[in-house]
């Protein structure tokens, strides 16, 4: 069977997703974006590589949705609402049309759910692994964009959702022996959380209105928190046992206590970490509840440039062998 040409591939699989008027149906060399008066454009990008960020034999529908969602998580952390995205897809030898069909279907599902239209991109072949790069564009209605460097002593540190499911889910997806004692429903839950993150878009208005600093948790809570504090020139006191874990993650940690460190440092959470002034605590929690997003306080920002202190339930400082996942 003859391979599709690049033009045929784009026309068949991706042009139907290009509903943004600036995309011009993917028939031009470039797209155009206009920003409404009084709003600002937020831009982020994430690249996903097979067997680094997902497994090559994962469902292509879920691979596509994860590629969008890790970027949507960054937009949410800046208080932005999704607007449009570009996609660069490097296909390895042996790609199949049915794989691309499932991939495009995944993009369509999340494009509809999050009002997130394809704007353009590129398709190339590669001798290496499948590689996906998404540039995401979001809009915020003010210039009060919460960055990493705004945390102040006394601010309360919050995380959304639950932490560690993604890192433990990768172990579950790989069939790690350490999770063999988990009930099947718990393994499936963790694996699903790894395969399909939940970007906290509905928390974005609360972050925009009330957070002094915010970032997406992608490389591990411990390490990402350290990044936020370094940018802010601050430190923190944190309660390890206040970090929210799902029931499945708690069950895994009961089987193997060392998995708690994996949960806190392993990454693939795609939750939001933010600092909120005490005067805005009630309003922030109300905004989170209105958006249906669980938020949990885990500590307080302190002055100084020393490493944050993580304490266990007895007040003892907790060391970590590493802070987060690192590519290098």
Annotated binding site for ATP: 121-122, 148, 218
Residue numbers in the known binding site for Mg(2+) are 29, 44-46, 74, 122, 216, 219
Helix, strand and coil percent figures for the chain, each rounded to 5: 40, 25, 35
**Left, alpha or beta for 5 (phi > 0: left; psi -120 to 50: alpha)?**
beta
Residue numbers in the known binding site for substrate are 53, 268, 325
| Beta strands 295-302; 235-239: pairing state | antiparallel
CA-closest candidate to residue 157, choices 311, 298, 63, 303: 298
Token pair 């399909």 in the structure block, residue: 196
Phi first, then psi: give them for residue 284, nearest 5 degrees. -65, -45
Residue numbers in the known binding site are 29, 44-46, 53, 74, 121-122, 148, 216, 218-219, 268, 325
Contacts with 283 (C-beta within 8 Å, 6 or more apart), sequence order: 206, 209, 210
Contacts with 266 (C-beta within 8 Å, 6 or more apart), sequence order: 164, 166, 167, 168, 170, 220, 325
Can you say how many angstroms the Cα of residue 109 is from the centroid of all Cα atoms in its chain?
18
Please report which helix (H) or strand (E) contains residue 259, including its range: helix 259-265
């Amino acid at each position: 069977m003859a391979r599709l040409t690049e033009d045929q591939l784009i026309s068949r699989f991706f042009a139907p997703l290009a509903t943004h008027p600036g995309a011009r149906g993917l028939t031009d060399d470039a797209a155009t974006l206009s920003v409404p008066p009084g709003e600002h454009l937020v831009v982020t990008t994430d690249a996903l590589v097979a067997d680094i960020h997902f497994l090559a034999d994962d469902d292509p529908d879920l691979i596509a949705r994860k590629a969008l969602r890790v970027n949507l998580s960054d937009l949410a952390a800046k208080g932005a609402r999704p607007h449009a995205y570009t996609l660069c897809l490097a296909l390895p030898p042996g790609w199949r049309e049915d794989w691309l069909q499932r991939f495009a279907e995944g993009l369509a599902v999340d494009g509809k759910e999050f009002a997130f239209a394809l704007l353009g991109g590129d398709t190339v072949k590669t001798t290496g692994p499948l590689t996906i790069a998404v540039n995401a564009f979001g809009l915020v209605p003010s210039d009060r964009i919460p960055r990493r460097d705004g945390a102040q002593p006394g601010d309360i540190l919050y995380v959304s959702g639950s932490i560690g499911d993604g890192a433990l889910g990768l172990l579950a997806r790989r069939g790690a022996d350490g999770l063999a004692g988990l009930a099947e429903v718990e393994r499936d839950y963790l694996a699903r959380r790894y395969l399909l993150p939940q970007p906290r878009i509905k928390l974005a208005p609360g972050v925009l209105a009330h957070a002094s600093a915010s970032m997406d948790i992608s490389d591990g809570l411990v390490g990402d928190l350290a990044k936020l504090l370094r940018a802010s020139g601050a430190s923190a006191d944190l309660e390890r046992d206040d970090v929210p874990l799902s029931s499945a993650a708690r069950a895994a940690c009961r089987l193997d206590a060392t998995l708690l460190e994996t949960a806190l440092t392993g990454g693939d959470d795609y939750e939001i970490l933010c600092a909120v002034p005490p005067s805005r605590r009630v309003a922030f929690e109300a905004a989170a509840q209105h958006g249906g997003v669980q938020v949990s306080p885990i500590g307080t920002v302190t002055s100084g440039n020393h490493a944050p202190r993580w304490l266990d339930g007895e007040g003892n400082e907790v060391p970590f062998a590493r802070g987060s996942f690192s590519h290098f």
